[in-house]
């Protein structure tokens, strides 16, 4: 663990009145994280959006002492820091506009797994809801996925526990620091998850599970996944927030329908009626929508067009895609340092040329 570099990375995430977007702006203008703390007040005030109070807060640098304590905790508990500029930072989150600046991760899997599915729902599910959730997880087993949820009561913990039982990697995104597990009743499951999955948080270790942290946690769940499934939910709550965020992030959203007058299904039914989610009632529906091949079935071979002329930027995309089975648009955009709109236009043009295949979940494969 590179202590000095990490000291400033944690420090900048703790500065009052400096959120992830402002922090990225500061780092860009100053040329690095350490340089932010070394900048004079006059230099800081030249940066758009930085006022007197924020500049004074940065210059005070008392956050670095807190960062030292955090590094000590991380070393003692085998916690891995993931800064947004690091290669290991989840690629799916890199282009989410409000993604965290820094993540704290305790676990054993690659956070850039090929397929990530989020499962969310009410904290008070019906018996049917629990059973449907478990059946969905069972159906996911052959498809080599990571399941992410929020370790909360109800659908979240049902999904996590079924994953642990079946050996499916599962991630818990937390609304508090890794110094505790909330709710405490889920501590045993959380410890089991670390062995084949993990726990993820944007908060330092002693951060309590405050109410406002959980909607923030939901953007990690929505941003980390390729597909988000809502099992049961009312019209308001964390699951609906996650579903709307996933739509904003161009993720595929699915919902299990329920009876019209069942309050536990109002949210799912509303998402389907308003075209914010596709209707599914089993894993086969999800696999079909995501274009995932059924277990044991050979993929159809599509012959690409020959002798297609590519521009320099199109060739760069080709070179990145060819060694890989399929790649998400976020990973492409980040790797090739292009804007989302520029990348989307190039991919569409390559698809017209017959050398690229578009897959669900904003993913692409070279033919």
User: Mind listing the pLDDT tens digit for each residue in 306-342?
Assistant: 557 888 888 899 899 888 888 888 888 888 888 877 8
Of 99, 174, 134, 232, the closest CA to residue 243 belongs to: 232
**Residue with token string 């924020």:** 54
CATH 3.40.50.450, domain 107-289, yes or no: yes
Question: Is 294 a residue whose pLDDT tops 80?
Answer: no
Question: Is 94 a residue whose pLDDT tops 60?
Answer: yes
Range of lowest pLDDT (53-57, 172-176, 346-350): 346-350
Question: Is 304 a residue whose pLDDT tops 80?
Answer: no
Comparison of pLDDT for 67 and 356, the residue scoring more: 67
Question: Is 265 a residue whose pLDDT tops 60?
Answer: yes
pLDDT at 161: 98
pLDDT at 341: 77
- The 3-class secondary structure across 257-298, one letter per residue, is CCCCCCHHHHHHHHHHHCCCCEECCCHHHHHHHCCCCCCCCC
Q: Under DSSP, is residue 316 helix (H, G, I), strand (E, B) or coil?
A: helix
In this structure, what token pair is assigned to residue 159? Answer: 């999904």
Distance CA 293, CA 34 (A): 47
- The 3-class secondary structure across 97-159, one letter per residue, is CCCCCEEEEEECCCCCCCCEEEEECCCCCCHHHHHHHHHHHHHHHHHCCEEEECCCCCHHHHH
Distance CA 257, CA 271 (A): 9
Q: What's the CATH number for 312-366?
A: 1.10.10.10
Of 254, 18, 291, 307, the closest CA to residue 120 belongs to: 254
Q: Tell me, yes or no, if the two domains 3-70 and 312-366 fold the same way.
A: no
How confident is residue 302, by pLDDT bands cut at 50, 70 and 90? very low
How confident is residue 274, by pLDDT bands cut at 50, 70 and 90? very high
User: Mind listing the pLDDT tens digit for each residue in 107-128?
Assistant: 999 999 999 999 999 999 999 9
Q: How many CB atoms lie within 10 A of CB 155?
A: 27
Of 157, 204, 163, the closest CA to residue 180 belongs to: 204
Distance CA 38, CA 330 (A): 33
Question: Is 2 a residue whose pLDDT tops 70?
Answer: no
pLDDT at 301: 46
Range of lowest pLDDT (57-61, 104-108, 232-236): 57-61
Q: What is the pTM of this model?
A: 0.81
Distance CA 106, CA 65 (A): 23
- Domain residue spans in the chain? 3-70, 107-289, 312-366
User: Best-predicted range by mean pLDDT among 59-68, 141-150, 323-332?
Assistant: 141-150
pLDDT at 357: 85
Question: Is 361 a residue whose pLDDT tops 90?
Answer: no
In 36-145, which ranges are E strands?
80-83, 102-107, 116-120
| Mean pLDDT, rounded, for 9-34 | 93
pLDDT at 82: 96
Question: Is 221 a residue whose pLDDT tops 90?
Answer: yes
Distance CA 116, CA 286 (A): 13
pLDDT at 66: 93
In 92-226, which ranges are E strands?
102-107, 116-120, 146-149, 170-173, 197-201
- The CATH class of 3-70 is mainly alpha
């Amino acid at each position: 663990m590179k202590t000095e570099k990490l000291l400033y990375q944690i420090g900048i995430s703790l500065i009052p009145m400096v959120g992830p977007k402002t922090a990225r702006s500061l780092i860009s203008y100053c040329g690095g994280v350490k340089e932010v703390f070394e900048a004079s007040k006059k230099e800081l005030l030249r940066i758009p959006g930085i006022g007197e109070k924020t500049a004074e807060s940065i210059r005070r640098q008392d956050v670095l002492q807190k960062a030292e304590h955090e590094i000590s905790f991380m070393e003692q508990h085998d916690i891995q820091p993931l800064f947004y500029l690091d290669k290991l930072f989840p690629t799916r989150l890199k282009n989410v506009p409000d993604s965290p600046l820094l993540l704290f991760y305790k676990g054993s899997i690659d956070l850039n797994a090929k397929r990530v599915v989020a499962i969310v729902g009410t904290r008070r599910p019906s018996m049917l809801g629990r059973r449907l959730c478990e059946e969905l997880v069972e159906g996911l087993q052959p498809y080599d996925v990571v399941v992410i949820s929020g370790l909360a009561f109800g659908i979240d913990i049902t999904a996590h526990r079924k994953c642990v039982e079946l050996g499916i990697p599962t991630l818990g995104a937390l609304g508090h620091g890794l110094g505790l597990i909330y709710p405490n009743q889920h501590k045993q499951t959380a410890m089991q998850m670390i062995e084949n999955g993990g726990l993820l948080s944007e908060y330092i270790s002693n951060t309590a599970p405050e109410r406002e942290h959980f909607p923030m946690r939901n953007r990690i769940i929505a941003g980390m996944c390729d597909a988000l499934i809502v099992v049961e939910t009312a019209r308001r709550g964390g699951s609906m927030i996650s579903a709307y965020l996933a739509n904003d992030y161009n993720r595929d959203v699915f919902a299990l329908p329920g009876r019209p007058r069942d309050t536990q299904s109002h949210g799912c039914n509303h998402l389907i009626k308003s075209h914010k989610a596709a209707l599914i009632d089993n894993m086969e529906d999800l696999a079909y929508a995501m274009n995932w091949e059924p277990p044991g079935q050979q993929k159809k071979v599509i012959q690409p067009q020959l002798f297609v002329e590519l521009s320099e930027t199109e060739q760069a995309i080709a070179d990145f895609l060819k060694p890989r089975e399929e790649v998400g648009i976020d990973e492409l955009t980040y790797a090739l340092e292009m804007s989302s709109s520029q990348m989307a236009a190039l991919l569409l043009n390559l698809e017209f040329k017959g050398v690229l295949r578009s897959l669900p979940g904003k993913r692409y494969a070279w033919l």
